[in-house]
Amino acid sequence: MLASPGPAKAADEIVVKGGRLAPGFSATIQGKLLALPTPAWLQAIGVSYVIQAEGQQIYVRIEEDGKLPDLVSKLGGRLVRLSGTLALVDDPRLEKERAQEFPERPKILMVRATALEEVKDPKGKEEISITAVGTLHPQLMQFTIAGPPRLWEIAAGKQDLPFAVWDKDLLEQFVKLEGNEVVTTGTLEKGAFVVKTLTISL
């Protein structure tokens, strides 16, 4: 289940509370930030930029009332480090009538930027780093494959971040920690979260 409270609502921001990470999805991406020709469907979710990293293009929302737009104009085309919150929002290209018939409609992954800086290290490279903190559950829909569920999600606030797990050792950890609040780290591949590490939130 991929719940989203609205077309431009990001997941709860990750903050440190009492030495622990609060639930939420955060992203740190090093890549080149580029302005987009903005069709109406992207304008509907507030996207006007993409950041290119590791052969991917990730949608970025930058609030126009802050300092980031000025930074973008100065850093366009350079290697930058963008930090923000990860969100899954409804695809606005689908008609409302169709969305009512198929509530589990496709989602668009985007990053709401909160910080931006130039990477001045001449050896700097493109990177994607995602941290997701929340309650771990299997998804309701699963592959018809024998054994433990391969499709999982992390719930944080009003959003869920879905992903698949195929590594045998990692899958065993997920089964053991089902229902617990966990901290996962990973990357993005083809618009999906890919988990690399899993620990229980202490």
Specify the pLDDT at position 134: 95
Specify the pLDDT at position 53: 95
Mean pLDDT of 143-157: 87
> Given a cut of 80, is residue 148 above it in pLDDT?
yes
- CATH number reported for the structural domain that contains residue 102 in this entry: 2.40.50
Indicate the pLDDT class of residue 96, thresholds 50, 70 and 90: low
Which of 9-18, 21-30, 78-87, 193-202 is predicted with the least confidence, judged by mean pLDDT? 9-18
- Number of domains, the chain: 2
**CA distances (Å), 139 to each of 105, 161, 163, in order?**
15, 10, 9
Mean pLDDT for the chain overall: 83
- Asked whether residue 12 is domain-assigned, the answer is no
**CA distances (Å), 6 to each of 14, 45, 94, 106, in order?**
19, 9, 14, 14
pLDDT in tens, 45-59: 889 899 999 999 999
- Of the candidates 82, 162, 170, which has an alpha carbon nearest to the alpha carbon of residue 118? 82
Residues spanned by the domain of 96? 26-126
Specify the pLDDT at position 5: 34
Helix-, strand-, coil-residue percentages of the chain, each rounded to 5: 15, 45, 40
Same domain (yes/no): 47, 135 = no
Same domain (yes/no): 118, 134 = no
* CA pair distance 185, 36, nearest whole angstrom: 29
Same domain (yes/no): 32, 73 = yes
Indicate the pLDDT class of residue 40, thresholds 50, 70 and 90: confident
Does this model's pTM top 0.85? My answer is no
Same domain (yes/no): 162, 74 = no
Indicate the pLDDT class of residue 11, thresholds 50, 70 and 90: very low
Specify the pLDDT at position 43: 84
- Per-position DSSP letters for 52-98, written without gaps between them: EETTEEEEEE--TTSSHHHHHHHHTTSEEEEEEEEEEEE-TTS-HHH
Same domain (yes/no): 112, 194 = no
